[in-house]
Chain A
């Protein structure tokens, strides 16, 4: 157990729907990162939050949004879902903000989203 908790583990939904993925970081970690792993794109960085604020953004679609709450858990909202959004969504956490190098990310087990 990495200490990073992601729910749900599996989710099946239909095109056009909206889903929310939840992540609780490891105790003491202030940063949360979202990554997407798909067959087409591989592992891609989506977005990072540090202590409630957006810190860095990657290839995140406009249909996707995220936030980090005061208790440091984070949610990734995916809307107007398309077949191509089917993927494994990872959350990772770290103690620092990302301003110092050499950060080792601790990943959760992932949430597998299937869009039918």
Chain B
């Protein structure tokens, strides 16, 4: 069963618009971590943010912000004032205390297209 759901397949915006990416996860663990990774057209996976299940405080880091709500099992990610360089596939991932915390379960990804 899919543990991480990214319902949005593709989002297209014009530069300077805000983009919010949705992520819904499923876990029975009380301790877990959530991540966002970015995959630009060049193909590599780049770490963006991490959140643990005990910290629901939402934060802003530069143009990135995230909204973590345990009550709805959601971990949404927002890019403010998007730029063309933000065009990429964004993946949400879950890490549970299974056999290894490094075993990430990824969602299907959301393609973000930012046009000038």
Contacts and interface: CB of A to CB of B under 8 A. Distances in A.
B102 A94 contact: yes
Interface of A: 2, 31, 33, 35, 42-45, 48, 55-58, 88, 90, 92, 94, 97-110, 112
A105 B109 contact: no
B102 A103 contact: yes
Contacts of B107: 42
Given A2-B44, A102-B33, A108-B44, A43 B91 contact: yes
Contacts of A31: 102
Nearest to A101: B101
Interface residues of B, number: 28
A30 B107 CA distance: 26
Contacts of B37: 107
A2 B47 CA distance: 10
Contacts of A106: 47
Nearest to A42: B108
A107 B103 contact: no
A81 to B, nearest CB: 21
Nearest to B97: A101
Contact of A105 (B42, B43, B52, B104): B104
A99 B44 contact: no
Contacts of A43: 91, 104, 106, 109
Contact of B44 (A42, A55, A98, A109): A109
Contacts of B102: 31, 33, 48, 56, 92, 94, 98, 103, 105
Nearest to B6: A42
Given A42-B106, A104-B50, 12 more contacts: A43-B106, A44-B106, A48-B100, A48-B103, A55-B100, A56-B98, A88-B43, A101-B95, A102-B95, A103-B95, A104-B47, A105-B47
